[in-house]
Amino acid sequence: NSGSESEKCSSSMSSRSSLSLRVETGRSGGSRRHRYSGEAGTSSSPFPPGSALDRIARLVSENAVIIFGFNGCCMCHVARQLLSGMGVNPTLYELDEEEDGGSKTEDALVRIAGRDPAVPAVFIGGKFVGGVERLMSIHIKGNLVPMLKDAGALWL
Encode pLDDT of 104-154 as tens digits: 999 999 999 998 888 999 999 999 999 999 999 999 999 999 999 999 998
Name, of 36-40, 42-46, 66-70, the range with top average pLDDT. 66-70
- The whole-number average pLDDT for the span 75-86 is 95
Asked if residue 25 belongs to a domain, the reply is no
Task: Give pLDDT, residue 15.
Answer: 32
Task: Give pLDDT, residue 44.
Answer: 59
Asked if residue 36 belongs to a domain, the reply is no
Asked if residue 74 belongs to a domain, the reply is yes
Asked if residue 29 belongs to a domain, the reply is no
Of residues 1 and 74, which shows the higher confidence score? Answer: 74
Residue 105, helix vs strand vs coil: helix
Asked if residue 58 belongs to a domain, the reply is yes
Is the bond preceding 48 in cis, omega lying within 30 degrees of 0?
Answer: no
Instruction: For residue 138, give the CATH number of its domain.
Output: 3.40.30.10
Rounded to two decimals, the pTM is 0.73
Asked if residue 128 belongs to a domain, the reply is yes
Range of the domain at 148: 49-155
Task: Give pLDDT, residue 10.
Answer: 34
- The whole-number average pLDDT for the span 53-65 is 94
Q: Are 83 and 147 in contact (CB under 8 A)?
A: no
Q: How many structural domains comprise the chain?
A: 1
